[in-house]
Amino acid sequence: MTARNPTACLLIIGNEVLSGRTQDANIRFIATKLSEIGMPLREVRVIPDMRDVIIDTVNEARAKFDHVFTTGGIGPTHDDITSECIAAAFEVPWEAHPVAWARMERAFRAGEFNPARQRMATMPRGAELIDNAISVAPGFTMGNVHVMAGVPRIMQSMMDTLLPRLPHGTPIASRAVHAFRLPEGLIADGLEAIQKRYQGLDLGSYPFYRPSGNGVTIVAKGPDAASAEAAIAEVTALILSLERSPIQGEPEAGTAAGN
Amino acid sequence: MTARNPTACLLIIGNEVLSGRTQDANIRFIATKLSEIGMPLREVRVIPDMRDVIIDTVNEARAKFDHVFTTGGIGPTHDDITSECIAAAFEVPWEAHPVAWARMERAFRAGEFNPARQRMATMPRGAELIDNAISVAPGFTMGNVHVMAGVPRIMQSMMDTLLPRLPHGTPIASRAVHAFRLPEGLIADGLEAIQKRYQGLDLGSYPFYRPSGNGVTIVAKGPDAASAEAAIAEVTALILSLERSPIQGEPEAGTAAGN
């Protein structure tokens, strides 16, 4: 991560993740997309549907990070309070958005664009819509805050809309090598020495415990792909010196929760 | 959630969730366990392996919440810096913990309890160990901060050790009803009226999109199981009045990421 890359913060708004009812399905998707455009995610916060908490957290995050992404709380029910809290955070009126209102009014039959649904067309003054391919109700951008739905497939479609509008930094290159039957405690000292020689990289060590066997994955991340490759080449030599077999890439790539 | 219940905050420390490399597998487990003992999780933060960020976040969280749980960053490698950051946050020395040290020294063969592994037996002065059934390296409690491993099965075993030591509040009762083909926008107004009559409850509305059909789940949570049941009975009547079929409980309970 270079110092010049824009930074991002994600706020997951809603009681359902905090209560354990829902398994989060949004962090990884957003983290991966932002990493691809060189806007590293520096913090995630999961916060409840509480007005003061949302307002304070949004204001803290938008001052501290270049871009803030929120998911959740923009539906039609009483616990969907994100939109009005964003207005309060920016100290602007929360009012009908003419484009969103007209579009939603058309989408529903007469009498079905009720007060609850009208709330989804009510936004902070100055909001720019974030359309999506799934639902007629849009998200919106206010300043550096991007307000999206919590439902994963709607959020994903909103991210597709949003990504071309965002500033892009230097993409973060990632290279990995793994080895079975290699405890972290054996490779740690050699790894630290390599990290010291590559100050522009993040060298991460991740043990895994899988049916196919236990071991460790070493990941080098940074804006310079060549130096990520060079560092992983040194780690590969280190693994050989410990009499293990280095394997390029991640074990069973795509498997969740293995770390 | 009653005002008297102790509150909790979870800090997930490590670059791997922020980069999108790893799907978080710890929030839901910890949230569920804490909910069961009546210590609602009020905030989760995912933060990087950066010394100043860890120290500041730990100090902010331990002042704001009754209990703070951390996962990640207590292994033997150079990116495992949680333990020394906790010592810095509490302004105490980071030193060999005699019990952990003796136990780990016994567990390794001569010469294999190397400096990297010795770091796992080095803790803030005054730390109380959190044992686990998987690994010889323990977590620890410092004040109101409980420091655990990031590997899910090790963390889960540490939670088993920890839970009996924690204060227990009033457990949060949860009741739910769902209906297919019921858009949130149709039930929102009636739901808000019910929420207003049950101030001690959190009434949450969660749309779902599943192969078996779309619909909405209404969940009532609070310390008083009888009033959660009464509220869900009213929601059930509301669903019937909208000519849908109420179904008790959650659809496909246990399915992740369906919301």
**Out of A33, A44, A192, whose CB is closest to B46?**
A44
Question: Can you give the pLDDT at residue B253?
Answer: 46
In a domain, A236, yes or no: yes
**Residue of B53, B14, B22, B32 whose CA lies nearest to B148:** B14
Question: Can you give the pLDDT at residue A111?
Answer: 87
In a domain, B111, yes or no: yes
Whether B32 and A47 lie within 8 Å, measured CB to CB: no
Question: Can you give the pLDDT at residue B163?
Answer: 97
Residue A252: pLDDT band (50, 70, 90) is: low
Strands A213-222 and A8-13, sheet pairing: unpaired
In a domain, B255, yes or no: no
Q: Which has the higher per-residue pLDDT, B39 or A111?
A: B39
Q: Which of A100-109, B82-91, B203-212 shows the lowest mean pLDDT across its residues?
A: B203-212
Q: pLDDT tens, B226-258?
A: 999 999 999 999 999 999 999 998 776 444 333
Mean pLDDT of A46-57: 97
* A–B interface: beta-carbon pairs under 8 A: 228
Residue B84 C-alpha from the chain's centroid: 23
Q: At A192, which CATH number?
A: 3.30.70.1130
| Distance of alpha carbon B164 from alpha carbon B166, whole angstroms | 6
What range defines the domain where residue A153 resides? 8-165
Q: pLDDT tens, A156-196?
A: 999 999 999 999 999 889 999 999 999 999 999 999 999 99
Domain boundary at A141, A165, A189, which?
A: A165
Question: Can you give the pLDDT at residue A110?
Answer: 86
* Whether residue A96 sits in one domain with residue A34: yes
- Per the CB < 8 A criterion, the answer to whether B10 and B43 are in contact is yes
* Whether residue B111 sits in one domain with residue B161: yes
Distances (CA, A) of B15 to A53, B81, B215: 25, 12, 36
Alpha-carbon Rg for chain A in angstroms: 22
Mean pLDDT of B198-227: 92
Mean pLDDT of B77-89: 96
- Per the CB < 8 A criterion, the answer to whether B197 and A10 are in contact is no
Question: Can you give the pLDDT at residue B252?
Answer: 63
* Whether residue B56 sits in one domain with residue B145: yes
* Whether residue A135 sits in one domain with residue A40: yes
Whether A256 and B23 lie within 8 Å, measured CB to CB: yes
* Whether residue B193 sits in one domain with residue B161: no
Residue B193 has pLDDT above 90, yes or no: yes
In a domain, B257, yes or no: no
Question: Can you give the pLDDT at residue B210?
Answer: 84
| Distance of alpha carbon B245 from alpha carbon A100, whole angstroms | 32
| Distance of alpha carbon A51 from alpha carbon A242, whole angstroms | 55
Residue A212 has pLDDT above 90, yes or no: no
Which residues of A, range 96-115, sit inside 8 Å of B by Cβ? 112, 114-115
* Whether residue B180 sits in one domain with residue B96: no
In a domain, B201, yes or no: yes
* Whether residue A126 sits in one domain with residue A196: no
| Distance of alpha carbon A52 from alpha carbon B181, whole angstroms | 34
Residue A3: pLDDT band (50, 70, 90) is: low
Report the alpha-carbon angle B12-B16-B20, nearest 5. Answer: 110
* Whether residue B140 sits in one domain with residue B195: no
In the block, tokens 């090790």 appear at B154
Q: Give the pTM.
A: 0.93
* Whether residue B112 sits in one domain with residue B37: yes
Domain boundary at B130, B148, B165, which?
A: B165
Distances (CA, A) of A189 to A196, A205, B74, B115, B258: 11, 12, 15, 8, 43
What's the domain count of chain B? 2
Residue B110: pLDDT band (50, 70, 90) is: confident
In a domain, B3, yes or no: no
Q: What is the DSSP letter of A71?
A: E
H-helix or E-strand spanning residue A229: helix A225-241
* Whether residue B100 sits in one domain with residue B25: yes
Distance between B121 CA and the closest CA of chain A, angstroms: 12
Mean pLDDT of A18-23: 91
Question: Can you give the pLDDT at residue B251?
Answer: 76
* Whether residue A180 sits in one domain with residue A117: no
**Residue of B242, B53, B148 whose CA lies nearest to A40:** B53
Whether B15 and A202 lie within 8 Å, measured CB to CB: yes
Which of B46, B155, B205 is the mutation pick for testing A, counting most A CBs within 10 A? B46
The reply to whether ipTM tops 0.85 is yes
Residue A210: pLDDT band (50, 70, 90) is: confident
* Whether residue B180 sits in one domain with residue B128: no
- A187 CB near a chain B CB, below 8 Å? yes
Alpha-carbon dihedral A108, A109, A115, A117, rounded to 10 degrees: -20
Which two three-digit tokens encode residue B35?
Answer: 């909910």
Distances (CA, A) of A69 to A143, A146, B94, B163: 11, 5, 37, 34
Q: Which of A241-255, B9-23, B85-99 has the highest mean pLDDT?
A: B85-99
Residue B172: pLDDT band (50, 70, 90) is: confident
B140 bridge partner residues: B129, B147
In a domain, B254, yes or no: no
In the block, tokens 């009483």 appear at A78
| Distance of alpha carbon B136 from alpha carbon A42, whole angstroms | 32
Q: At A48, which CATH number?
A: 3.40.980.10
Distance between A77 CA and the closest CA of chain B, angstroms: 5
**Out of A27, A40, A188, whose CB is closest to B17?**
A27
Domain boundary at B165, B198, B233, which?
A: B165
**Residue of A123, A122, A141, A142 whose CA lies nearest to A131:** A141
In a domain, B28, yes or no: yes
Establish how many alpha carbons lie within 13 A of residue A256's alpha carbon, considering only the half-sphere containing its beta carbon: 12
H-helix or E-strand spanning residue B217: strand B213-222
Mean pLDDT of A246-253: 78
If you average pLDDT over every residue of chain A, what do you get? 93
Q: Which residues contact A239 (CB under 8 A, 6 or more apart)?
A: A177, A179, A182, A187, A245, A246
- B230 CB near a chain A CB, below 8 Å? no
Residue B41 has pLDDT above 50, yes or no: yes
Residue B29 has phi, psi (to 5 degrees) of: -60, -50
Residue B3 has pLDDT above 60, yes or no: no
| Distance of alpha carbon B152 from alpha carbon A119, whole angstroms | 40
Question: Can you give the pLDDT at residue B154?
Answer: 95
